[in-house]
Amino acid sequence: MNMIEWILLIIVIAFFINRFMPVKGVTNLSVQETKDKFKDNHVQFIDVRTPSEYNSNHRKPFKNIPLSNLSNNVETLDKEKEVVVICQSGMRSARAAKMLKKQGFQKIYNVKGGMSAWI
């Protein structure tokens, strides 16, 4: 392999590592751990699925803010409160958690398995 091929390979590997590695400061929660947080008034619950996904199946107290709209609605959230993020499988909520971390949120939780894991 020549130098350019090595550089491209390194860039691709770095992209995948950055994309799929857990974000520091984001904790994964089980469904039961998420349910336990429902009692806490100092937690914000965000569902980042599309409105149609949310309307077909959601849990209170999750508020629907689709991932595509989250960056425009981040000012509606309190950076001092914990944030629990959910989607269908856990992938979009992981991206949302990463984005919230970059926006200065400190206590972020991602629901492992998303709504697919809900019992």
Our answer to whether residue 87 is catalytic in this structure is yes
pLDDT for residue 8: 87
The conformational region for residue 113 under phi > 0 = left, psi -120 to 50 = alpha, else beta, is left
- In a domain, residue 106? The reply is yes
Is residue 97 within 8 Å of residue 25, measured between CB atoms? no
This prediction has a pTM of: 0.80
Sign of CA dihedral 12, 13, 15, 16: positive
Per-residue pLDDT of the chain (119 residues; tens, 9 = 90+): 688 888 888 888 877 666 665 566 789 999 999 999 998 989 999 999 999 999 999 999 999 999 999 999 999 999 999 999 999 998 899 999 999 999 999 999 999 999 999 86
Structural domain harbouring 91? 25-117
Residue whose pair of structure tokens reads 């991206």 in the numeric block = 95
Distance from C-alpha of 82 to C-alpha of 39, rounded to nearest angstrom: 13
Is residue 12 within 8 Å of residue 94, measured between CB atoms? no
- In a domain, residue 12? The reply is no
Q: What is the count of structural domains for the chain?
A: 1
CATH number at residue 51: 3.40.250.10
- In a domain, residue 96? The reply is yes
Q: Which of 65, 87, 108, 111 is catalytic?
A: 87
pLDDT for residue 52: 96
- In a domain, residue 15? The reply is no
